[in-house]
Amino acid sequence: SIFVAMGKSHAFHKALSAGLVMKAACNGLVYRKVMRLSPSARQEYSSGYIVNLMATDSERMFQSFMSVNALWAAPLGLIISLTLMYNSVKNATWFCLIALFVVFFMLLPVVLLQSKLERLRLECMDVRVKVLNEMMQGIKVIKLMGWELPILETVDEAREKELVHVRNKAIVKALFIALVLGSSVI
């Protein structure tokens, strides 16, 4: 078990290192592309969109490296465990397999809802970052005209809309974790 733990730790470290390199490379590519955009092309992409590319999409690349081993290890582990279970309890194995599929189909709508909420949160974040960017570009005019409070209210309103989606996503994530942890009872 010590060698298994050391092997898993080493594999995790390598995946983490490769994921961080990929995330840094994606951020660098996006940054270089943004710096080369012409003024007319910059009109096409908002600052929020670019921030989403650098923050969210590069984070997805990082997380994919963390779970890439599951693509081959999970099916292999499932086949081995079902084979061993069948050798022990024979036909009762099929009930376990049915329960596994039931849990999978219970989790599917939760995962789809989580994805939808994340997309809505990113759209709200895009609006908020765009307002903040416009505010920072026109800060001199805002100060001279005394528009601080209306601008802050606009930013707060955008953030409140975003927080609704953050809260809903946290609730759905808690439901997902409860279903995964409770699936052993099924």
pLDDT for position 87: 93
If you count them, how many residues does the chain have? 186
pLDDT for position 152: 83
pLDDT by residue (tens digit) across 95-124? 888 888 888 888 899 989 998 998 888 888
**Are residues 179 and 106 in contact, defined by beta-carbon separation less than 8 angstroms?**
yes
Residue 155 host element (H or E): helix 148-182
Q: What angle do CA 81, 83, 89 make, to 5 degrees?
A: 95
pLDDT by residue (tens digit) across 122-180? 888 888 888 888 788 788 787 778 888 888 888 888 889 889 988 998 999 898 888 88
Phi, psi of 154 (to 5 degrees): -65, -45
Whether residue 186 is predicted with pLDDT greater than 70 in this model: the reply is: no
**Residues 164, 170, 176, 178: is their CA dihedral positive or negative?**
negative
Whether residue 41 is predicted with pLDDT greater than 80 in this model: the reply is: no
Of 5, 15, 13, residue with least CA distance to 66: 15
Gap between the Cα atoms of 186 and 99, Å rounded? 6
**pTM as predicted:** 0.58
pLDDT for position 178: 86
Considering only residues 114 and 62, tell me which one the structure prediction assigns the higher pLDDT. 114
> Considering the chain, what percentage of its residues have pLDDT values greater than 70?
97
Of 81, 78, 61, residue with least CA distance to 16: 61
User: DSSP states of 86-143 as a string?
Assistant: HHHHGGGHHHHHHHHHHHHHHHHHHHHHHHHHHHHHHHHHHHHHHHHHHHHHTHHHHH
Considering only residues 47 and 121, tell me which one the structure prediction assigns the higher pLDDT. 121
